[in-house]
């Protein structure tokens, strides 16, 4: 480590009851460097950046910024020193406009008219188009991320921390973001970049620090490594690649018949004439830019948003008007995108969370009495089978890292042996090894005869496991087509709202442009 480093971290250690989150971690970031921070879920990445940003106080170790001691006691102090952070989960108010949201994140915001002018100037400078007067509730996920980024850029940061910044972006939006980050790099801003998308790391980053179980285990130049090699550094073993022998049958397990339903969220997207058949043994992948009806479709399929009975048919039985528990009895299960607060109760233990959705199919209660022994055994089975990193089933759901909670939620549903499973963003924020395990579990479930719908913004994931692919656009679902052989351009056309691939391709050929 030299005096030219922007940030120097020396021996940072942070322990919580039952786990050492960071153990004597040291590394440095140079000015104008894009530095990746890699590791499995629970490896200590979030704790480390929280110490840099002043959200967590280290137990021991030191930091230096610009060669001076740096120990922020709160985010305000970190921002004042030139450190900005865009979190994986956006903190925006949907009922306020862009300028009002940005003002809330500033210590001394200027008058709104002047702030709106500054927002426009920064958005134009960095190629991030944004209208300061638009309601956040009307913005796409990519546009919401721009709000967070511009809020940080108005602080003129010297170190920019980004946590899973592309998890909700289309390929086109990823390109725009990378152009912005390259521009910041050229201006001398350093970027600490956390992502599980290793090909992105190879494209963007100059160096990488790899954590495993709280310790730094390696550093590398990502451009000189394969994605697989970096993943194996993270897990310390050979990475398993999902495998499957297709077992799709002609037996239709689930039918959606011209499903139309208004969104319960005033800023949501209503479903319009959604039609789909899913066969036993088949995985249907549904892609699309965030905010195009994914949450509404999940809620309709899970029973949280009842519909007319014959809008949804399971094995010939109309179930559109049935609630979640009635559908679970039949074998129709779902796992929503929002894991903390929707898929899991934050302050309940893992045992209690196992009970919440497993009580019916796992027979965890009888005659009004709960069988706590069987419930704890079920929770322990989920923890063991899906490698959930936690001291035990008595720990609260909120104590788990995002990726470990995701493994618990998905495992809880898969282990109930559903006949139909609907999952929304099954590997969001999950490391490469855990993502491979979750995908393999979904493939195995399909091979056993289950019908599966995977709603995801990860197109690579969908192409890896789906038999057929469809796209949501403004609440409408394209026709499902075989996933094998689909090109990026064809997928882009479908995500842009092309419902007939043949007609869309003719239009593209005639215009010479992809209709996105």
Highest mean pLDDT among 164-173, 245-254, 502-511: 245-254
For the cut 70, the answer to whether the pLDDT of residue 504 exceeds it is no
- The answer to whether 191 touches 160, Cβ cutoff 8 Å, is yes
- Closest by alpha carbon to 446, among 425, 420, 424? 420
Structure tokens, 463? 């192409």
Q: What is the pTM of this model?
A: 0.72
42: left (phi over 0), alpha (psi -120 to 50) or beta: left
The per-residue DSSP string of 241-289 comes to PP-------S-EEEEEEEEEE--SSTTS--EEEEEEEEETT-EEEEE--
The four Cα atoms 409, 411, 416, 422 give a dihedral, to 10 degrees, of: 60
The pLDDT tens digits for 313-347 are 999 999 999 999 999 999 999 999 888 889 999 99
What pLDDT, on a 0 to 100 scale, did the predictor assign at position 258?
95
User: Long-range pairs for 275-278 at CB < 8 Å and ≥24 separation?
Assistant: 275/477, 276/470, 276/477, 276/480, 277/252, 277/480, 278/252, 278/253, 278/254, 278/420, 278/451, 278/452, 278/453
Token pair belonging to 35: 């530095």
Q: How far apart are CA 505 and CA 508, in angstroms?
A: 5
Task: Determine the 3-state secondary structure of 220 from DSSP.
Answer: strand
What are the tens digits of pLDDT across the range 364-381? 998 889 999 999 999 999
**Whole-number pLDDT of residue 168:** 66
Query: Where do you find CATH 3.40.50.300 in the chain?
Result: 7-235, 242-331+418-516
Q: What is the mean pLDDT of the chain?
A: 89
193 strand-pairing partners:
36, 162
Domain at 7-235, CATH class: alpha beta
Cα distances (Å, whole numbers) of residue 485 to 464, 481, 488: 11, 10, 10
The phi, psi pair for 369, rounded to 5°, reads -110, 140
C-alpha dist (Å) from residue 325 to 51, 81, 318, 368, 452: 42, 52, 15, 16, 18
Write out the DSSP string of 372-419: HHHHHHHHHHHHHHTT--SS-TTSBGGGS-HHHHHHHHHHHHHTT--S
Q: For 45-102, how does the pLDDT look when each residue is reduced to its tens digit (9 = 90+)?
A: 989 999 999 999 999 999 999 999 999 999 999 999 999 998 877 788 989 999 999 9
Range picked from 283-292, 323-332, 431-440 for highest mean pLDDT: 323-332
For 152, counting Cβ atoms within 10 Å of its Cβ (0-12 exposed, 13-18 middle, 19+ buried), the class is buried
Which pLDDT does position 506 carry in this prediction?
36
Please tell me the least confidently modeled range out of 108-112, 138-142, 509-513: 509-513
Choose the CATH number for 242-331+418-516 among 3.90.1150.10, 2.40.50.140, 3.40.50.800, 3.40.50.300: 3.40.50.300
Give the Cα separation of 511 and 516 in Å (integer). Answer: 12
pLDDT, tens only, 216-248: 999 999 999 998 899 889 988 876 667 766 667
């Amino acid at each position: 480590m030299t005096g030219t480093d922007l940030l120097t971290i020396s021996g940072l250690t942070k322990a919580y009851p039952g786990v050492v989150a960071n153990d004597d971690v040291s590394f440095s970031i140079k000015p104008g460097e894009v530095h990746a921070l890699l590791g499995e879920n629970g490896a200590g990445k979030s704790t480390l950046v929280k110490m840099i940003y002043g959200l967590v106080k280290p137990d021991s170790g030191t930091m230096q910024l610009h060669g001076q001691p740096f120990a922020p006691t709160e985010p305000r102090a970190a921002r004042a020193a030139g450190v900005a952070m865009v979190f994986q989960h956006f903190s925006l108010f949907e009922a306020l406009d862009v300028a009002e949201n940005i003002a809330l994140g500033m210590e001394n915001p200027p008058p709104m008219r002047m702030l709106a002018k500054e927002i426009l100037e920064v958005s134009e400078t960095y190629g991030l188009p944004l209208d300061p007067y638009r309601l956040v509730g009307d913005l796409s996920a990519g546009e919401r991320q721009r709000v967070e980024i511009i809020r940080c850029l108005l602080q003129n940061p010297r170190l920019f921390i980004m946590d899973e910044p592309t998890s909700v972006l289309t390929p086109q939006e990823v390109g725009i973001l990378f152009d912005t980050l390259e521009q910041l790099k050229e201006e001398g801003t350093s970027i600490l970049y956390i992502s599980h998308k290793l090909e992105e790391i190879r494209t963007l980053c100059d160096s990488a620090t790899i954590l495993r179980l709280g310790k730094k285990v390696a550093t590398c130049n990502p451009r000189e490594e394969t994605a697989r090699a970096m993943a194996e550094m993270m897990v310390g073993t050979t990475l398993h690649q999902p495998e499957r022998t297709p077992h799709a049958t002609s037996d239709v397990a689930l039918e959606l018949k011209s499903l139309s339903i208004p969104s319960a969220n005033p800023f949501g997207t209503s479903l319009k004439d959604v039609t789909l058949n899913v066969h036993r043994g088949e995985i249907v992948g549904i892609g699309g830019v965030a905010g195009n009806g994914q949450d509404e479709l999940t809620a309709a399929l899970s029973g949280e948003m009842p519909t007319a009975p014959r809008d949804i048919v399971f094995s010939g039985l109309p179930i559109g008007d049935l609630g979640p528990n009635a559908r679970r009895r039949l074998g129709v299960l779902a796992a929503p995108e929002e894991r903390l607060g929707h898929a899991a109760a934050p302050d309940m233990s893992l045992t209690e969370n196992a009970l919440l959705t497993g009580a019916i199919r796992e027979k965890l209660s009888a005659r009004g009495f709960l069988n706590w022994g069987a419930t704890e055994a079920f929770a322990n089975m989920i923890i063991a089978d899906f490698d959930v990193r936690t001291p035990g089933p008595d720990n609260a759901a909120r104590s788990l890292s995002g990726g470990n909670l995701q493994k618990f939620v998905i495992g809880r549903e898969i282990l109930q042996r559903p006949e139909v499973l609907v999952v929304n963003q099954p590997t969001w924020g999950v490391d490469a090894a855990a993502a491979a395990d979750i995908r393999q579990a979904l493939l195995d479930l399909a091979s056993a005869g289950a019908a599966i719908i995977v709603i995801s913004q990860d197109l690579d994931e969908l192409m890896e496991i789906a038999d057929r692919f469809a796209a949501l656009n403004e609440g409408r679902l394209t026709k499902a087509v075989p996933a094998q052989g689909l090109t990026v351009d064809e997928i882009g056309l479908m995500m842009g709202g092309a419902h007939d691939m043949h007609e869309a391709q003719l239009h593209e050929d005639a215009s010479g442009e992809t209709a996105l």
